[in-house]
């Protein structure tokens, strides 16, 4: 199983997703190294908790990531799940007193990933995009910009996240029990 297997399973209505996957994975990127692309992709698979998608991603990711990097993807996905949920909650409440309080969340894992800080920030950004946390998205973009990432690199992270999520959605749509869609004539 691989990224090419995902392509083989995408139906004609997902041709834009297929084209984007080919551009991301079958061509060399000017903004991301292959291991970064697969680290982002693996993090997205974990953040989505999509087993089928992960089964397609993992074999190819193993070619570019070692076990330490793969573990960092899990740390990014799980820790961002917690922090993204908290900051989404905090942003939506009207109680200013609670909003100003410290989260008191343990964030020790954010310092225990043992990979390059820029790569880890990329993975945290990817998970934060999946979880829709505006606060964390902006924090990680700021960190990446401070670490020398170009706007194109950050755009490409968002692009990978979007394409992998869409591919996972299509795989799930196709997996669900499907009925032939037929228009019925209305009785007059």
d(CA 165, CA 24): 14
Does the structure show a pLDDT above 80 at 182? no
Q: Quick check: pTM over 0.85?
A: yes
172 half-sphere exposure, CB direction, 13 A CA radius = 12
Does the structure show a pLDDT above 80 at 184? no
Percent of the chain with pLDDT over 70: 93
Query: Which CATH number describes the domain made up of 3-92+110-175?
Result: 1.20.1290.10
Vertex 115: Cα angle to 109 and 121 (nearest 5): 70
d(CA 131, CA 85): 8
CB of 122 closer than 8 Å to CB of 39: yes
> The tokens 């992270």 sit on which residue?
157
153-181 pLDDT, tens digit each? 999 999 999 999 999 999 999 988 666 66
Q: What is the mean pLDDT of residues 88-99?
A: 93
6-64 pLDDT, tens digit each? 999 999 999 999 999 999 998 888 999 999 999 999 999 999 999 989 999 999 999 99
Q: Catalytic residue numbers?
A: 133, 136
Domain positions in the chain are 3-92+110-175
């Amino acid at each position: 199983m691989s990224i090419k297997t995902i392509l083989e399973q995408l139906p004609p209505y997902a041709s834009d997703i297929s084209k984007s996957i080919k551009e991301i994975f079958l061509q060399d990127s000017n903004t991301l190294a292959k291991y970064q692309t697969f680290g982002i992709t693996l993090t997205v698979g974990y953040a989505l908790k999509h087993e089928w998608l992960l089964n397609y991603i993992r074999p190819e990711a193993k070619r570019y990531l070692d076990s330490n990097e793969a573990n960092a993807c899990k740390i990014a996905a799980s820790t961002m799940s917690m922090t993204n949920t908290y900051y989404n909650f905090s942003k939506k409440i009207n109680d200013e007193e609670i909003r100003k309080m410290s989260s008191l969340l343990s964030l020790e894992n954010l310092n225990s990933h043992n990979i390059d800080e820029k790569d880890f920030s990329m993975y945290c950004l990817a998970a934060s995009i999946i979880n829709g946390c505006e606060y964390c998205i902006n924090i990680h973009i700021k960190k990446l910009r401070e670490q020398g990432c170009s706007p194109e690199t950050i755009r490409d992270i968002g692009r990978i996240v979007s394409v992998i999520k869409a591919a996972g959605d299509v795989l799930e749509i196709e997996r669900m029990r499907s009925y032939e869609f037929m228009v019925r004539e209305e009785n007059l």
